[in-house]
Amino acid sequence: KQEVTQIPAALSVPEGENLVLNCSFTDSAIYNLQWFRQDPGKGLTSLLLIQSSQREQTSGRLNASLDKSSGRSTLYIAASQPGDSATYLCAVYSSGSARQLTFGSGTQLTVLP
Amino acid sequence: GAVVSQHPSRVICKSGTSVKIECRSLDFQATTMFWYRQFPKQSLMLMATSNEGSKATYEQGVEKDKFLINHASLTLSTLTVTSAHPEDSSFYICSVRGPGTVQLASYEQYFGPGTRLTVT
């Protein structure tokens, strides 16, 4: 059974700092990996989706990398802003026909002004 | 991506009553819909998967008689929490997946904004 782990569980940084969020998964036979953002009491906002054949995806100040063989992904946030404060969730799509999505427990990020 | 709505966004009900949550896919045919539950400071846990016109498949530990799921059309799924108890208080999120188009891959899920259920 796929398990997704995110480290750290919580992170607090001063504004302007670059930071890295980590995600690891136990079964490397994934179809794709996706990073989401969740604001308190809200639903999920998709940030980046990396196909299993890709090594990274970029959107603005965000860069996500994928090392499928080692079961790891990182989300890099450049020049962090207070508006980046949220919980970041990593999720992997299984490679089976069901394409089931398994979530990590998230990293709660606080960017201090 | 697809646009998904949920109604209501918040609901408070008394213990022992039932409450229905709707999930609508506004702009594409959702052949598969998923219901997740999220407790405070925890991640999303899949409750059940439903394909349009078929009975839902529930994850282990989820009571199918308590959480009734109906996926009668390609745009609407409902989750009914029957005889709700305080421990059912949670954030319920639905997601949809379509058959796939040129623009939208067949595997990607699109999420609704969630429904906060509080049982008193």
What single-letter amino acid sits at A96? G
B49 neighbors B64 (Cβ within 8 angstroms): no
Any A CB within 8 A of B37 CB: no
Nearest to B63 by CA among B86, B47, B49: B47
Burial of B85 (0-12, 13-18, 19+ CB in 10 A): exposed
The rounded distance, in Å, linking the Cα atoms of A10 and A104 is 13
Are A99 and B46 an interchain contact pair (Cβ–Cβ within 8 Å)? Answer: no
Mean pLDDT of chain B: 90
> DSSP letters along A38-69, please?
E-TT--EEEEEEEETT-SEEEETTEEEEEEGG
pLDDT digits (tens, 9 = 90+) for A69-98: 999 999 999 999 999 999 999 999 987 766
- Substitution target in B44, B58, B111 with the highest count of A β-carbons within 10 Å is B44
- DSSP character at residue B68: E
- What pLDDT, on a 0 to 100 scale, did the predictor assign at position B102? 55
Q: Which residues on chain A are in Cβ contact (under 8 Å) with B48?
A: none
- What pLDDT, on a 0 to 100 scale, did the predictor assign at position A98? 66
Please determine, for residue B73, whether its predicted confidence score (pLDDT) is greater than 90. Answer: no
Q: Collect all residues with Cβ–Cβ distance below 8 Å to B102 and sequence separation of at least 6.
A: none
- What pLDDT, on a 0 to 100 scale, did the predictor assign at position B111? 93
Are A42 and B114 an interchain contact pair (Cβ–Cβ within 8 Å)? Answer: yes
Question: Which A-chain residues 13-72 have CB contacts (< 8 A) with chain B?
Answer: 31-32, 34, 36, 41-44, 46, 49
Any A CB within 8 A of B44 CB: yes
Nearest to B43 by CA among A104, A72, A86: A104
Min Cα separation A55/chain B (Å): 18
Tokens linked to B72: 């009668």
pLDDT digits (tens, 9 = 90+) for A12-53: 999 999 999 999 999 988 889 999 999 988 999 999 999 888
Virtual torsion, Cα A11, A55, A92, B43, nearest 10 deg? 10
Please determine, for residue B99, whether its predicted confidence score (pLDDT) is greater than 80. Answer: no
Looking at chain A, how many residues does it have? Answer: 113
